């Protein structure tokens, strides 16, 4: 009869628990790759949350450990900046700006250049996903009414939002995560990222203009646009704009300016700097807090929470260290900037950029690891349609207006933009490290 010593029983129990963690981790990241779990109506957020619940239910992670695993400062920063961006949207700023852009008496190439520059700047200071969500439908409508093919401008919107958001630590969720976890100074990061981001915006314009080849006007308009002019208003009704409220927009701009100055010149925690003005914006006499909070991306916050718990459970198994050591023994050292840059770009197109960054943060030990992770994961988002939420938002709004942007149309722009911007960022970081 077999008899196990207590130490052996503890080891067997630990192995079983570690196997449970690995299985749950594998299922969660499979869901990140597929965007769902086959047979279940779960998206990435649902998969991450279900994984965290499974770890709690199996006892592999205690409720106390799960709470401690959640990076509350990162979530606070995200929430605060989402409220600030919602202020601009409800103040009608995005709608008014997009209508002015789409109706500006400019040549199509100049219009595209202005659009790319404006979107890049906005995405560096506000959440890039919200910029796309607010601007895409009005931009598509405005271009269509001018007889322009909206597709190049919509692709410019998506690509510029991704590239521009790489310039700062508040442009997108993965940058916020990198900045908070690694304690990167706001101004120092901008020195590393602003130049490749600005050059990347020029690349976006050049690639799209070259792809269009002078054919800016729609040759085949959607059925609902090709109707007689006197029927356009009934077949393509104007999108009801968010009323422009000058005071609310000015209030948002004052808060944003104070935030950026605070990030640059103070040492106060960024989450406190973001949440304090968010609280002021919520305490409005005219704008209901329910409307502002309704524009917060709660799905993204829950995705972060689930992944924090799942990745913490994996870390307790010691598996990440063993994988890093095994790769290093084979000449693949992810702690070196070059390998980390390539792995981040690759994984961001496999599991999406936020999960990829969480997965690679244990290897972020080099002084340039923060800019490497933030730039490569963000710029890689233009490669495929599913590489960035901004891409999906723009394509979805185009479809609602009868404008089909398939993966081939996107790839003809996205692939060269991604390869060129990644090459520029890699060269710039190599020069900074020299």
Q: What is the pLDDT of residue 345?
A: 92
For the cut 80, the answer to whether the pLDDT of residue 10 exceeds it is no
Higher pLDDT, 227 or 323: 323
Q: What is the pLDDT of residue 230?
A: 39
What pTM does this model have? 0.84
| Mean pLDDT value of segment 359-366 | 90
Rounded distance between C-alpha atoms, residue 176 and residue 77, angstroms: 8
| Mean pLDDT value of segment 347-370 | 88
Are the C-beta atoms of residues 244 and 91 closer than 8 Å to each other? yes
**pLDDT tens, residue by residue, 181-193:** 999 999 999 999 9
Candidate from 41-55, 210-224, 282-296 with smallest mean pLDDT? 210-224
For the cut 70, the answer to whether the pLDDT of residue 6 exceeds it is no
Higher pLDDT, 16 or 318: 318
Q: What is the pLDDT of residue 240?
A: 58
**pLDDT tens, residue by residue, 221-267:** 444 343 333 333 333 444 556 788 898 999 999 999 999 999 999 98
Confidence band of 375 (pLDDT split at 50, 70, 90) = very high
Candidate from 75-79, 122-126, 400-404 with smallest mean pLDDT? 400-404
Q: What is the pLDDT of residue 241?
A: 64
Of 306, 312, 383, give the one whose Cα is nearest residue 352: 383
Tokens 């605070």 label which residue? 262
Q: Which of 16-25, 137-146, 233-242, 262-271 tops mean pLDDT?
A: 262-271
For the cut 90, the answer to whether the pLDDT of residue 156 exceeds it is yes
Local structure of residue 41 (DSSP, 8 states): -
Cβ neighbours around 431 below 10 Å, total: 9
| Mean pLDDT value of segment 255-281 | 92
Query: For a pLDDT cut of 70, what percent of the chain falls above it?
Result: 91
Query: For a pLDDT cut of 90, what percent of the chain falls above it?
Result: 47
For the cut 60, the answer to whether the pLDDT of residue 14 exceeds it is no
Q: How far is CA 262 from the centre of its chain?
A: 23
| Mean pLDDT value of segment 357-385 | 92
Q: What is the DSSP string of 187-217?
A: HHHHHHHHHHHHHHHHHHHHHHHHHHTT--B
**pLDDT tens, residue by residue, 84-103:** 988 998 899 999 999 899 88
Q: What is the pLDDT of residue 5?
A: 56
3-state SS, residue 38: coil
As a whole number of Å, the CA-based R_g of the chain is: 23
Q: What is the pLDDT of residue 3?
A: 54
**pLDDT tens, residue by residue, 35-85:** 778 888 888 889 999 999 999 999 889 999 999 999 999 999 989 998 998
For the cut 70, the answer to whether the pLDDT of residue 324 exceeds it is yes
For the cut 70, the answer to whether the pLDDT of residue 354 exceeds it is yes
Candidate from 171-185, 272-286, 385-399 with smallest mean pLDDT? 385-399
Confidence band of 377 (pLDDT split at 50, 70, 90) = very high
Q: What is the pLDDT of residue 275?
A: 94
For the cut 90, the answer to whether the pLDDT of residue 393 exceeds it is no
3-state SS, residue 148: strand
Composition of the chain by helix, strand, coil, percent to 5: 75, 0, 25
Confidence band of 272 (pLDDT split at 50, 70, 90) = very high
**pLDDT tens, residue by residue, 407-420:** 888 899 999 999 99
The CA-CA-CA angle for residues 110, 394, 75, to 5°, reads: 115
Q: What is the pLDDT of residue 417?
A: 97
Confidence band of 163 (pLDDT split at 50, 70, 90) = very high
């Amino acid at each position: 009869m077999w008899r196990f010593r207590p130490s052996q029983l503890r080891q067997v129990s630990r192995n079983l628990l570690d196997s449970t963690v690995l299985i749950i981790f594998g299922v969660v990241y499979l869901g990140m790759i597929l965007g769902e779990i086959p047979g279940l109506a779960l998206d990435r957020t649902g998969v991450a949350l279900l994984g965290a619940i499974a770890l709690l239910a199996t006892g592999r992670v205690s409720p106390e450990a799960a709470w401690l695993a959640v990076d509350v400062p990162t979530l606070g920063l995200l929430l605060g900046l989402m409220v600030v961006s919602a202020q601009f949207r409800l103040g009608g700023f995005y709608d008014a700006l997009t209508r002015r852009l789409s109706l500006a008496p400019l040549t199509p190439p100049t219009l595209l250049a202005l659009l790319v520059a404006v979107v890049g700047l906005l995405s560096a200071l506000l959440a890039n996903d919200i910029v796309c969500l607010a601007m895409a439908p009005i931009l598509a409508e405005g271009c269509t009414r001018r007889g322009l093919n909206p597709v190049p401008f919509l692709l410019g919107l998506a690509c510029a939002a991704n590239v521009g958001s790489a310039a700062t630590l508040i442009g997108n969720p993965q940058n916020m995560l990198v900045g908070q976890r690694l304690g990167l100074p706001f101004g120092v990061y901008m020195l590393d990222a602003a130049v490749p981001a600005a050059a990347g915006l020029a690349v976006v314009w050049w690639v799209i203009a070259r792809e269009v080849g002078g054919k800016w006007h729609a040759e085949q308009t959607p059925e609902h646009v090709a109707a007689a002019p006197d029927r356009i208003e009934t077949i393509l009704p104007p999108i009801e704009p968010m009323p422009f409220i000058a005071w609310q927009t000015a209030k948002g701009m004052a808060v944003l300016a104070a935030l950026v100055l605070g990030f640059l010149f103070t040492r106060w925690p960024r989450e406190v700097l973001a949440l304090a003005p968010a609280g002021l914006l919520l305490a409005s006499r005219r704008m209901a807090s329910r409307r502002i909070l309704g524009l917060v991306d709660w799905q993204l916050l829950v995705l972060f929470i689930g992944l924090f718990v799942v990745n913490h459970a994996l870390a307790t198994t010691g598996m990440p260290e063993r994988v890093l050591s095994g790769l290093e023994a084979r000449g693949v050292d992810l702690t070196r900037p070059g390998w980390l840059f390539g792995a981040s770009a690759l994984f961001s197109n496999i599991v999406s950029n936020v999960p990829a960054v969480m997965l690679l943060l244990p290897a972020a030990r080099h002084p340039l690891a923060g800019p490497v992770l933030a730039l490569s994961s963000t710029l890689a988002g233009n490669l495929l349609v599913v590489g960035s939420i901004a891409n999906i938002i723009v394509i979805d709004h185009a479809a609602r207006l009868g404008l089909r942007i398939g993966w081939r149309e996107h790839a003809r722009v996205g692939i060269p933009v991604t390869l060129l911007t990644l090459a520029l960022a890699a060269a710039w970081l190599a020069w900074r490290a020299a």
